[in-house]
Structure 1
């Protein structure tokens, strides 16, 4: 947040302020950042917001994967590599792959035809696993 953002003064019970401070500390945010994060999470998410947020998550996770790769390499070189280090790298890479796939789908959302979106929106219908599966089923006539 920039210093040019408007300021808002809020009164709150001391115990709530303490819980906010604890949560901010745990998440690595400032108290203001924690309040903004929690308020933002209560508003409906627009497609643009989702795209931006997912892109930030992908970037953050890429950095975490790179750091874990460096850690694993260093531990391997010293003969101190343990299974939990590899497991953590595997988890991070798997999560990164999932987030990148989500980010790609969000970017492709503008290319989805209105009739396809209506098919996805039908109440009671089981949505296809992916847009590709949906298009293939339509071509096959199922």
Structure 2
């Protein structure tokens, strides 16, 4: 089996793959769009507008967050928290709620050693598999 076929079979059977990450198979497209691998964000100055891309693993909108929605984005190098304002969420609602993978543009934030991204644009990108995310719990 090809690597992508093994990934699809693993995710179908178990929900994950011990050998590879779905974002690995879209890295060429992410690179072409200028998306920075999450592991490299430590080298980017806070406040910079950047693009990142990966699989959406969580969507959360806590009652205490004033309508702000938080996404967790994961690529083959790491995970990143993404903050979506109520206006951004409304503008990109369909893409934000239904896409298994996203390319997110926004401003990089770093506070007390924690890196996050405040989104200003969301674009869907198709991974070879669409693992289910944990949404709004």
TM-score by length of structure 2 reads: 0.22
> Which of structures 1 and 2 has the bigger CA Rg?
1
Greater strand proportion: 2
Larger relative contact order, structure 1 or 2 (CA cutoff 8 Å, min sep 6):
2
Greater helix proportion: 1
